[in-house]
Structures are given as C-alpha cells and as structure tokens.
Amino acid sequence: MASNILVYVEQRGGNIYPATFQLMHVAAELASKTGGQVEACVIGSGIAGLADKIAACGAKKVYLADDAEFESYRVMPYASALSAAIDAASPKTVLMPTTALGRDLASRVGARKRAALVIDCTEVDADGEDLIATTPMYCGKVSSKFRLTGDRLQMVTIRSNVYPAAEPADGATAETVSVAAALRAEDTRLSLKEIVSTTSGVKDVTEADIVVSGGRALKSEENFKIICDLAEVLDGAVGASRAACDAGYQPHTRQVGLTGKVVTPAMYIACGIDGAIQHLAGMRGSKVIVAVNTKAEAPIFKLANYGCVIDLFVLVPLLTQEFKKLLER
Amino acid sequence: MNILTVIKQVPDSNAAIKVKGDASGIETAGLKQVCDPFDEFGVELAIQLREKRGDVEDIAVICLGGDKASEAMRTALAMGADRAIHINDPKFESMNELFAAYTIAEAIKKDEQNYDLIVCGKYNIDLDSGAVGPALAEFLDWPHVGAVTGLEIADDGKSFTARRRIEGAEEIVECTLPALLTIEKGLVEPRYPSLPNLMKAKKKPVQVLTSAELPGVEASTAGTHLDSMTPPPPRPECKMIEGEPEEMARELVRLLREEAKVV
C-alpha cells in the first residue's frame, strides 16, 4: 500500500512560493502516521537548484520536471508533468497550495487521476488508510470534514498560513529523479504572453502575515494613506472592503471578501469595516482580528479578538506611532 | 459560435445556514437559493458576446441539480440564454465536484451541439472549491483559463486573449478555441432579468437528462465522502479596549505583543 506524501512545490521565476514550506510541515506530520516518507515535485525550467532547499525541509526524494517547455506556467503541460511525477512516485497523498495555480492544477490532475480531491483545506489528518480533510463551506459559515478513502489517490490543496512552516535543517540532501512529460498538440494550444506584477513592491494580501484593511469609512483614496502607513510599519499588506474598492479607493486586487480574496493572516486589522457577511467570509480564518469602528454594534466585533470603538482617523495614526516605537527598539 | 454556460443553484450568500442535527448537511427548508453569482457572470459574458459579435448562434445553459435548480435556469434564460439542459437525478446528488464535472462532461459529449466556448463561475459559493470548471475541461481534453478578469476574442472566432489574476500578478494568455473559461468578479456586471423576460423564459426549451440518459455515470463517483458538517469553531469573546485614544493605542499594542504574540 502506498504511504508516501508528495508535496507539489509551486515556484515562479525560480522562487518557491512561501506556503510550500507549510506543506512540508503537514507532509512530515502525515508521513509520521502513514509510515511513509516525504517527497516533492518541482516543475519549471532551470529549477534543479531548488531541490536542496526542499531537501532541507524534509523531502527524501525530489521529482524534477526541468525543461524549457515548463519555463512558464501553462496548465496542461504542468498537469502532464505532475501526472508523470505521480505515476513515478505512486504517493498515497498529494499536497498542494491553495493558490490560483494550485486550484487549477489540483482540479485537472485530480480529474485525470480519478483522485479523491478536496480544495482549500484548513486541516488534514490521517485516519488509518483514509485522509480526513476539513474545509470551510457556504462562505465560511460551515466547516465540513470529508473522508478521502485510501483506495484512491488523495489530493488536497491547503490554505496558506494555517500551518507553520517546516524548519530547514542544514546539510540534508535528497535523491533527485527527473520526470519527462510527453506533450501533445492539445497541451500547447494555450500560451503565456505576459506576467504583469500587480503588487509593485507591496505585499499581496494573500501572502502577508499581517493585513491592515480599510472600509468605506476611509472616504477617499488619499485617506487610505493612514492604512498604508500602518501596514508599512508592520511589514504587512493593505486590504480593502468591497465598498471601498467599488468606490475606487483601492484596486480590486486588494479586495478581501467573498468576491475578492480569502486571507488567513496571523493578524487582520479591520479599520472602518462593519463586517458584511461577504467580507467576513474573506477574513474569518485570520488568527487574531482587531476591529476599529465607531459603531459598537457593528458585526465585525462578533468576530474580533480585540475591539476599539473609536474613530479610525484618531486611532490608526496613534497605533502606527506605537508600533513604530515598539518595533524600532 | 456556440456557447455553453454551466450554472448551479446555491444558497444566497446572505442566508443564514443551519447545520442539521446529525451533522449530515445543512437545513434546506425555507433556505433562499439563487443562481450562483459567479455563474451569472458567465451567463452575462455569453450574452454580451452575442450583443457585440454577429456570430453567436446558440447560448445554452447546463445545470446539475434537483427540481429546485429550475429557478437558477429560469434566471439564466430570462437574462438571455436560449435553452437549458437540466441534469436532474437523485443519483447525481453529491458534494463531490470531480463527480459533478464528470457528469456534466458526459452530458456534453452526448449533446449534438458542438460548443466553441464553455464558461463557468470561478467557483460556487456553496462549496467554495472551484474544481468543476478545470475538471470539466480536463474530461473534455480542452484547455481552460481560470478566474478570468479580461477577455478579447479574435474577430474570426478562432482564438482569444485572456487576463487572470494570480497571487501578486496578472497573467495574460493566448489560446485557441474551443476552450473553457472560469469567470472572476469584475469582468462583467450581470443584468437583472426583467419581468417580461422572466415570463418569456418559461417558454424556452429545457431538456431534462436523468441517469437513464447518462448510464454508468453514478459508478464513477470518486472516494470523497462527507463525514460531518459543523458550524465553524466559535471565536473567543471580543476584548473591548477602553480609555483615551493614546491609552487605547498603547494598550492594544501591548496586548498584541504580550497576549496575542503577533508582533
């Protein structure tokens, strides 16, 4: 019976997506229960050097699909490469990140392999041969546990920042295995023309450990500067409610909520956000939630760990100063 | 050009969701259900393509769901779709999106129409998963572009350029048709169906497919089973911080460092 855990290592331009190291942590936990080992798969071009970094985090074997064809992400060639790695590794479970690309790839490869698949898990655990995957549903209003039976390949994508990252150990090495995927004409009908960075040096809300968000109460794009200043001091990202984005105060790439992005940072500071159900769906998984709002009855306080009933224009600049004092020490 | 849009009936995002006593699912009695808002983006896109181009001949919607799902189809038909395919059989009820995609793919393969474009929502707001679109493309062996925020289809209707958001960047891809797109918020704004159009929608053709027309599909259900459903774990009570603004800021920062340990 298969018992190994295969981690899909998402990389762009040779940089490993940070959540990968969290997947390595989960893989080690699962492998200790299944009695298998942790293995990894990297797809890209000129990415052989990444194997050591993955080995340092516990992978015993790294499957490399290293070919000019995989220079940029295209779903069908990547699906073929990952399928080939799965054929070579015969893992029990495949772990992937809940990212735009991870969702794409997991769904396609899951279909191709007739796998048991759960997307966007907040917890996974082995139960004998089965895998128990917990995932939020109905905009986060329900938490569901699915049983992925051991008679099939088990595939899950795991939400960022729910698990800690694996600690790298010096000097660990892994056996590398190269994987080839024969591409068909069908696989290359889609091509990448361009990747445009939308963050311009600022962290994306889905990646940051701390997110500072503003709502409609900010009243203008200029006023958002106090939110940006606080985010900068905390080395965090700037988020916004749907109302603030629709009003043009912030780009939709920063929108947190049901129709925006789902974020799970260590700390979420909601400034002038009342907490419409659709917004809560996008941030309720945050570890610590701070709410700053003039309305004591705002729904956001039901979810918050810490609440301040005060005008954000008064408190936020003071908070920025206090954090500055603390962090400069 | 023939366009197929995939839609689903889901609980309204504002509706209160109650878990059944035995944790086997949610209470659906009295629950307000609607056409998934992301799927409506897909229907709207199809209609706008017809309005802009002269070559869109057929806009069909396909919906996997029980009797109640006919409401979602009526919304799509009232928005402007020409006809609907309703896959309705208790045997197909499942929370497994790979199984849903497989079932829809089998129905499409049996359909006499040749589609050039299939559109679905980025994900459905019930399962929050988004596997149906990519998995459907896989079962059809078509390329797909997920979470599309910009789209230009060539005048000859043979290829397109699409934009999509990924973490911290935007991808611009080119692809030939046929292909499948999943639609992100922001590409189009769905229209409200007018009352006369809602009446007219009742007369548009709806083809119903059951397990009799799609034999063997139920045997393919993958090994994903719901064990239990619970409300999310309760959050601790909110600690309200009082005092003058300066005190408030100092106290909050102290608690975040010493108690919550997040800075």
Q: Could you report the per-residue pLDDT of A286-298, keeping only the tens digit for each?
A: 999 999 999 999 9
pLDDT in tens, B20-64: 999 999 999 999 999 999 999 999 999 999 999 999 999 999 999
Same domain for B239 and B216: no
Query: Exposed (0-12), middle (13-18) or buried (19+): which is B218, by Cβ within 10 Å?
Result: middle
DSSP class of residue B150?
E
Range of the domain at A109: 5-188
What integer best gives the mean pLDDT of chain A?
Answer: 93
Residues 172-191, chain B, touching A (beta carbon < 8 A)? 172-176, 179, 185-186
Same domain for B250 and B122: no
Whether B144 and B181 have beta carbons less than 8 Å apart is answered as: yes
Same domain for A153 and A236: no
Contact (CB<8Å) B165/A75: no
Minimal Cα distance from A10: which residue of B?
Answer: B167
A41, A40, A46: which is closest to A13 by C-alpha? A46
- Roughly how many angstroms between the first and final C-alpha of chain B, as a whole number? 56
Same domain for A279 and A152: no
Rounded Cα gap, residues A152 and B97, in angstroms: 16
Contact (CB<8Å) A307/B222: no
Q: Give the number of other Cβ atoms within 10 Å of residue B230's Cβ.
A: 12
Residue A294: C-alpha distances to residues A155, A226, A255, A268, A313 (Å): 45, 17, 22, 18, 10
Same domain for A266 and A130: no
Contact (CB<8Å) B98/A193: no
Residue B216: per-residue pLDDT: 76
Size of interface A-B (CB pairs under 8 A): 267
**A135 in reach of chain B (CB within 8 A):** yes
Residue A200 belongs to a domain: no
Q: What is the dihedral of CA A200, A205, A206, A210, to 10 degrees?
A: 120
**B134 in reach of chain A (CB within 8 A):** yes
Residue B226 belongs to a domain: no
Residue type, B203: K
Contact (CB<8Å) A195/B172: yes
pLDDT band at A200 (very low <50, low <70, confident <90, very high): low
Once rounded to an integer, what is the mean pLDDT over residues B214-222? 71
Q: Pairing state of beta strands A306-309 and B239-240?
A: parallel
Same domain for A219 and A176: no
Out of B6-15, B41-50, B228-237, which region has the weakest mean confidence (pLDDT)? B228-237
**B260 in reach of chain A (CB within 8 A):** yes
pLDDT band at A262 (very low <50, low <70, confident <90, very high): confident
pLDDT in tens, B148-168: 999 999 999 999 999 998 887
Chain B residues with beta carbon closer than 8 angstroms to that of A186 = 141, 143
Rounded Cα gap, residues B184 and A321, in angstroms: 38
Residue A32: per-residue pLDDT: 96
Instruction: Report the number of distinct structural domains present in chain B.
Output: 2
In this complex, the residue of B19, B141, B222 whose CB is nearest that of residue A114 is B222
Distance from CA of A143 to the nearest CA of B (A): 5
Distance from CA of A302 to the nearest CA of B (A): 7
Residue B247 belongs to a domain: yes
Contact (CB<8Å) B262/A139: no
Q: Give the number of other Cβ atoms within 10 Å of residue A253's Cβ.
A: 20
Structure tokens, A175: 């056996």
Report ipTM (2 d.p.): 0.91
